[in-house]
Amino acid sequence: MQPGIITYSRNVFLPLTNVCHNRCSYCIFKTPVKDGCVMPKADVLSTLDLGVKSGCTEALFTFGERPGLEDGFLEYIRRYGYETILEYCYDMSLSAIEMGILPHTNAGILDYNELEWLGDVNASMGLMLETTADIPAHKNSPGKKPEVRIGMMEDAGKLKIPFTTGLLLGIGETPSDRTESLEVIESLHKRYGHIQEVIIQNFCPKEGTSMEKWPVPAKEEICDTINLAREILPDDISIQIPPNLSDASELIECGVNDLGGVSPVTIDYVNPEHPWPEIENLKNIIGKRRLEERLCIYQKYIDKGWYPERLSGLIDKLNKDIQHRSYK
């Protein structure tokens, strides 16, 4: 982490489906199986095209966890010629690469073989740990069991996949749970060296959920957790906050050095009520610090060669594009 520098990635958000096998008490992303529950291929390609034309370097592919376990979903994915959502994601990742943008996938829980397979078409991948605590908000979400998520993060380390994870604050965990969660992440990184960034994300209550009147974390609570993360995690892990979910200008001083993916063309589909700040306005958020654009794969992992060979030329090109923009 270089002092005085705040980084971000210019991305495009592609929710391939909102169908999900989890039933988290705070989520509005999940929708039932129905017509239109899979993002049409034409929409994916047109969104990718718009992202490329807008200078985006990251295609964030995400979808509900294990949608194939939901009754009726397979009928819809088969209409597109695929047996699973992972096959669809793989194919759309190839399209993204061909069009000139790097895929980053957050697919929920994947096993070792699935991670290895999707890793072949991704520059980086991610999974929010959220918390190591067993909380009521996750009681109907088998994929949110801490041991399951930790196991996947460990598999990603074994496969040398540059990885993003993070904590979700205010969903029923305690301060000691947050400490434990950060210590688990630190331990994984110590063994495998693959955690490139940790998101400290505050819970935002959603109307219509059972937690719609749940209290939100105060600024001081978020700041304390950022400070805790900076104490526990090594310096080579970036600490990220989403600039659309809180007043980032008030949290930068707490030890943040990354603003994550910010899209000039798509909304935050997980938190649609919170628009992204304009990229041109990010400098106003960070004060006197220097704003630097980055790729979804951090430079140290590029230097290590932790990416599929098929991405080599594209990574070089996009790095040059970023450098060109920074000189303007």
Which residues are documented as binding site for [4Fe-4S] cluster? 20, 24, 27
Place of tokens 């969903």: 171
- Measured distance CA(77)–CA(85) in Å, rounded: 7
What DSSP character marks residue 130? Answer: B
Query: Alpha-carbon distance 182 to 300, whole Å?
Result: 22
Counting every residue written for the chain, the total comes to 328
Binding-site residue set: 20, 24, 27
Local structure of 290: helix, strand or coil: strand
- Which residues, including other chains, have CB under 8 Å from residue 126's CB and lie 6 or more apart? 104, 105, 106, 163, 164, 165
CA proximity to 8, closest of 55, 43, 47, 63: 55
**Which residue is associated with the tokens 């990354």?**
258
d(CA 254, CA 237): 15
- CA 91/CA 124 separation, integer angstroms: 16
Helix (H) or strand (E) holding 302: helix 299-304
